[in-house]
């Protein structure tokens, strides 16, 4: 990227380096999904084009435009939420990595995109040595205060070499929901190759493009998520970089994700049958066909029409609606469906950093959950739908008092 360029159009596929795209969806200019704003009388926000195309050669789904990562990630408001589902998931990640790949108890784990260090703490609890890497200086500082050594940089071959010089080779390099955020993924592969011991494993967790298409979870499309990946695309990518996908685990987190394990191409780990099974599943789902992406675009257009109509109908009946959660993905839904202050009175969210601010684009205020005690709405639009079970479970009082939830995805329904 040029020095002063803040957004650029994607021309060459970051996986296969070809240039044969199918345009899938285009949402026009949208503000950044994690750019929560302090309350003010007027707002001066930047909008960036948001859209997705699919590479006909390797079927990477990529954003059409890339925003300078320094704008997105240097001062980052996304903090791993304090959720039971996530805490359980983090422990699970520790267990699968250690058991399947025979990690020595004092082995080194390097996590990039380590956020506030919670995942690394779960590794530290088992005795493993940990180093975090995260360019968000505000978050790296939080992790450091909790005793998790964190390098405040983007993960790269250079950062990897410097960690290796200080700590030795890593048994595990982990990137949860960060690989799909990176434009220069070749640099991540190079960093992993540099840092991993011969038996070392790179584990990346990414939203699964198959789930995106099957659930029409188009709200996971925002400027931070540059790539929407299948196992097939990742197999192609790592092969090109001297690495090999050896195992995959399908997960429910973030609306459907995959944890993909990658070893050196000449490393000791055999390729497990699940890899071929998922390649077949993807073929059967038509992930290689233009028609599949055309169908996805039609489903998105339907939600874009139906959801605002549903909410406006309720408002016309005098119902009050608030957003449950203020996730980044909620901002895609609202901005892309034209839903704003006319429909939503406020959102509640447990994240300190978001409370007291307003949502980007729509300027809906974000309040702490306690606010809803005095101002309970008739309906909650479940913007954090990926935690539906957990949230509906703990909001029994709201439901007992007659409150209802609206699920926006895979199609708008009142629960």
- Judged by beta carbon, residue 325 or residue 408, the one nearer ligand TYD is 325
Between 61 and 196, name the residue whose CB sits nearer to Zn ion. 61
Closest CB 13 distance from Zn ion, rounded Å: 3
Q: Are strands 357-358 and 37-38 parallel, antiparallel or unpaired?
A: antiparallel
The entry of ligand TYD, Zn ion, none that residue 57 binds, CB within 5 to 8 Å by partner kind: Zn ion
Q: Say which entry of Zn ion, ligand TYD, none residue 329 contacts (CB below 5 to 8 A, set by partner kind).
A: ligand TYD
Site string for Zn ion, 11-40 (x = CB under 5 A): --x-xx------------------------
Considering only 47-55, 83-91, 145-153, 206-214, which stretch makes contact with Zn ion by CB under 5 A? 47-55
* Beta pairing class for 47-55 and 21-31: antiparallel
Q: Which residues fall within 8 angstroms of residue 82, CB to CB, at 6 or more apart?
A: 350
Measured CA to CA in angstroms, residue 66 lies from 52, 166, 205, 309 at distances of 11, 33, 21, 32
Query: Could you say whether residue 58 binds Zn ion (CB under 5 A)?
Result: yes
Phi, then psi, of 401 in degrees rounded to 5: -85, 10
Among 10, 33, 52, 55, binds Zn ion (CB under 5 A): 55
User: H or E segment at 322?
Assistant: strand 321-324
Shortest separation between residue 103's beta carbon and Zn ion, angstroms: 33
Q: Which is nearer to ligand TYD, 378 or 390 (CB)?
A: 390
Residues in the chain: 415
Number of CB atoms found within 10 A of residue 214's CB: 14
Choose which of 57, 126, 199, 350 interacts with Zn ion (CB under 5 A).
Answer: 57
Least CB distance to ligand TYD at residue 240 (A)? 28
Sorted by sequence, the CB contacts under 8 Å of residue 24 that are 6+ apart come out as: 51, 52, 53, 54, 61, 293, 296, 297
- Is the peptide bond preceding residue 410 cis, with omega within 30 degrees of 0? yes
Q: What is the DSSP letter of 266?
A: T
Give contact residues for ligand TYD (rule: CB under 6 A): 78, 81, 83, 325-329, 349-351, 384, 386-387, 390-391
The distance of closest approach from Cβ of residue 243 to ligand TYD in the complex, given in angstroms and rounded to an integer, is 27
Instruction: Give the nearest distance from C-beta 217 to ligand TYD in angstroms.
Output: 10
In degrees, rounded to 5, the angle at the alpha carbon of residue 208 between the alpha carbons of residues 203 and 211 is 155
State yes or no: residue 350 binds Zn ion (CB under 5 A): no
Binding Zn ion (rule: CB under 5 A), the pick from 10, 30, 32, 60 is 60
Q: Interface residues with Zn ion (CB under 5 A)?
A: 13, 15-16, 55, 57-58, 60
């Amino acid at each position: 990227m040029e020095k002063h360029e803040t957004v650029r159009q994607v021309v060459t596929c970051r996986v296969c380096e070809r240039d044969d795209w199918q345009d899938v969806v285009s949402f026009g200019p949208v503000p950044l999904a994690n750019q929560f704003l302090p309350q003010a009388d007027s707002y001066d926000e930047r909008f960036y084009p948001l859209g997705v195309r699919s590479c006909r050669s390797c079927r990477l789904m990529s954003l059409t435009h890339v925003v300078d990562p320094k704008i997105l990630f240097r001062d980052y408001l996304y903090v791993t939420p304090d959720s039971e589902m996530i805490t359980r998931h983090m422990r699970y990640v520790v267990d699968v990595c250690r058991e399947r790949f025979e990690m020595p108890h004092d082995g080194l784990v390097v996590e990039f995109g380590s956020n506030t260090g919670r995942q690394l703490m779960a590794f530290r609890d088992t005795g493993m040595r940990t180093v975090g890497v995260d360019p968000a200086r505000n978050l790296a500082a939080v992790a450091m205060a909790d005793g998790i050594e964190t390098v405040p940089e983007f993960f790269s071959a250079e950062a990897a070499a410097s960690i290796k010089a200080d700590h030795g080779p890593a048994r595990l390099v982990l990137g949860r929901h960060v690989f799909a955020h990176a434009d220069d993924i070749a640099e991540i592969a190079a960093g992993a190759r540099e840092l991993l011991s011969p038996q070392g494993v790179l584990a990346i967790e990414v939203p699964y493009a198959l789930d995106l298409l099957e659930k029409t979870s188009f709200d996971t499309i925002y400027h931070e998520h540059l790539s929407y990946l299948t196992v097939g695309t990742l197999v192609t990518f790592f092969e090109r970089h001297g690495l090999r996908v050896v195992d995959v685990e399908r997960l429910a987190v973030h609306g459907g994700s995959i944890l993909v394990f990658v070893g050196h191409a000449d490393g000791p780990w055999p390729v497990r049958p699940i890899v071929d099974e998922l390649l077949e599943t993807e073929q059967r789902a038509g992930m290689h066909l233009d028609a599949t992406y055309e169908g996805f675009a039609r489903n998105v257009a339907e939600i874009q029409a139906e959801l605002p109509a549903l909410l406006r109908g309720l408002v016309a009946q005098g119902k009050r609606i608030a957003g449950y959660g203020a996730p980044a993905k909620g901002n895609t839904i609202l901005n892309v469906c034209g839903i704003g202050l006319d429909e939503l009175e406020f959102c509640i969210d447990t994240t300190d950093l978001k409370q007291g601010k307003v949502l980007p684009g729509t300027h809906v205020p974000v309040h702490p959950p306690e606010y809803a005690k005095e101002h309970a709405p008739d309906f909650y639009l479940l913007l954090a739908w990926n935690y539906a079970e957990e949230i509906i479970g703990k909001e029994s009082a709201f439901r007992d008092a007659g409150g209802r939830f609206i699920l926006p995805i895979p199609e708008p329904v009142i629960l």
